[in-house]
Amino acid sequence: MANVALRKVVKKYDRTEAVRGIDLDIADKEFIVLVGPSGCGKSTTLRMIAGLEEVTDGEILIGGDLVNDVPPKDRDIAMVFQNYALYPHMTVYENMSFGLRLKKFPKAEIKSRVDHAAGILGITELLERRPRQLSGGQRQRVAMGRAIVRNPRVFLFDEPLSNLDAKLRVQMRTEIKKVHQTVKTTTVYVTHDQIEAMTLADRVVVMNAGTIEQLGTPHDLYHTPRTKFVAGFIGSPAMNFVNCKLVEAAGGGLSTRLGNGLTFKVPPDRTQRYKSHVGRELLFGLRPEHITEPRGDLRPDCQEFDVTLDVVEPMGMETMVYFMVEDTEVCGRVNPASAGAPGQPMRLVAELGNMHLIDPQTEAVI
């Protein structure tokens, strides 16, 4: 059990700067997820914590100790790899006990630890098999078991679920969460899948091009993204962005003019925040789930508007409707029963309490 701290950590490969100065404090027992698009430096960051990559600049501390020059084996960490990296010539038991055997643990202790971990993961019957004889999900469990038996100070996961099929991925996600709640080891988890990040993390680190875009709880990232990147990356389907102009409304307050004659009133509690930007061309952001069909009484922060549907995508539980605002496609999420047909007009409701305005120059959320 330990906290982990990164201080201005930089990693340069020959030409590319993969990580550009990351500051991060991970509390003891915390589950942190690094998420971001492919190539943004997540794995590099994780591998520096593991000691598999040297740190070009900055400091990494585990449990308060500077570990920059400590080899992986002395960092007391365990890692689960994307391809599991199980030793193919060893049985599951041998795979899980390898680290303990190297450390010359007594046989009985090894056995009880492996049995305990196998119990947690439900792989007790597989202990005599070889990795080759296991399914992807079982290999994944063994890889986690190998990490658990070591009882390390920190767990590191690098995209552990990306080789599994969709159904198994959801199942293993729950499993990982459960394991963390049982063993409560500090965990750093890397994924490019924002849903995984949102469901697993205590706090999420959104990375982009080697830097941290935003660090916060899943709730924070979803409701108060600080940049356009985070706003667009978190949430699925992604947030709609439409060019707009912020103007003074006729009856006082502010409104955003989106084109196609579409004007949304800014909720009164945002007036103060946006006042200094009046007259500017900005980006209006609203998530698909905040564009719905009319549902009973109109709440004060909601506004009805009419569109002509372009594309209709039934998803079963809900239906995605797409329409054009100027030349931007906008997505709404409506009840299947009320969805119109393509080419037909439809009345929709925008929940403007959830709108965002973004400065197109700095890409910061205002």
Partner 1 sequence: MVDTTPRGLAAAAATMNRAPTRRSGGASLRVLARRRSTTAFLFALPLLAVVGGLIVYPGFYAIYLSMLNKAQTKFIWFGNYTFLFTRDSFWMVVQQSVLFAVTAVFFKALIGVITAHLVNNLPAKGQRKWRGMLLVPWVIPLSLSTLGWWWMFDPTYSAFNWAFAQIGGPHIHWLSEPAWARFCTILVNVWYGSPFFLIMYLAALKSVPGELYEAASIDGASAWQKLIHVTLPMMRNIISITVLFSLIVTFANYDVVRVLTAGGPRDTTHVFATWAFLLGIQSGDIPLGASVSLFMLPILAISAVFILRGVRRRGREI
State the residues that interact with ligand ADP by CB under 6 A: 13, 16, 18, 36, 38-44
- Smallest separation (angstroms) from partner 1 to the CB of 85: 4
Distance CA 22, CA 278 (A): 35
- Comparing CB distances to partner 1, the nearer of 136 and 253 is 136
Q: Out of partner 1, ligand ADP, Mg ion, none, which partner does residue 39 contact, by CB within 5 to 8 A per kind?
A: ligand ADP
Q: Out of ligand ADP, Mg ion, partner 1, none, which partner does residue 124 contact, by CB within 5 to 8 A per kind?
A: none
Question: Which amino acid, 48?
Answer: M
Binding test (CB under 8 A) with partner 1, winner from 42, 139, 146, 333:
146
**Token output for 104:** 């010359």
Cβ(204)–Cβ(35) below 8 Å: yes
- Smallest separation (angstroms) from partner 1 to the CB of 71: 7
Binding test (CB under 8 A) with partner 1, winner from 24, 32, 46, 50:
50
Name the residue number minimizing CB distance to Mg ion: 43
- Comparing CB distances to partner 1, the nearer of 140 and 214 is 140
> Is residue 136 near partner 1 by the rule CB under 8 A?
no
> Is residue 43 near Mg ion by the rule CB under 5 A?
yes
Using CA atoms, how far residue 223 sits from 44, 136, 219, 235, 282, in Å, is 28, 35, 6, 10, 19
Distance CA 330, CA 119 (A): 49
Place of tokens 């079963």: 316
Question: Which amino acid, 342?
Answer: P
> Is residue 83 near partner 1 by the rule CB under 8 A?
yes
- Smallest separation (angstroms) from Mg ion to the CB of 359: 31
Cβ neighbours around 83 below 10 Å, total:
12
Using CA atoms, how far residue 112 sits from 9, 153, 362, in Å, is 39, 19, 56
Of all residues in the chain, what percent are helix, strand and coil, respectively (each to 5)? 30, 35, 35
- Smallest separation (angstroms) from ligand ADP to the CB of 22: 11
> Is residue 102 near partner 1 by the rule CB under 8 A?
yes
- Comparing CB distances to partner 1, the nearer of 96 and 121 is 96
- Comparing CB distances to ligand ADP, the nearer of 149 and 204 is 204
> Is residue 78 near partner 1 by the rule CB under 8 A?
yes
Q: Out of ligand ADP, partner 1, Mg ion, none, which partner does residue 366 contact, by CB within 5 to 8 A per kind?
A: none
Angle at 273 between CA 272 and CA 278, to 5 degrees: 85
Binding test (CB under 8 A) with partner 1, winner from 99, 216, 288, 340:
99
- For every residue of 278-303, DSSP letters joined together read TT-EEEEEE-GGGEE---SSPPTTEE
Report the chain's terminal Cα–Cα distance, integer Å. 39
- Cis bond before residue 237 (omega within 30° of 0): yes
Distance CA 308, CA 321 (A): 10
- Comparing CB distances to partner 1, the nearer of 42 and 146 is 146
- Smallest separation (angstroms) from ligand ADP to the CB of 287: 25
What's the order of all strands across the beta sheet hosting 254-259? 262-265, 254-259, 240-248, 281-286, 356-358
From 5-13, 40-48, 118-126, 256-264, give the range in contact with Mg ion by CB under 5 A: 40-48
- Smallest separation (angstroms) from ligand ADP to the CB of 152: 21
From 35-43, 91-99, 119-127, 234-242, give the range in contact with Mg ion by CB under 5 A: 35-43
Interface contacts to partner 1, rule CB under 8 A: 50-52, 71-73, 77-79, 81, 83, 85-90, 98-99, 102-103, 130, 132, 146, 150
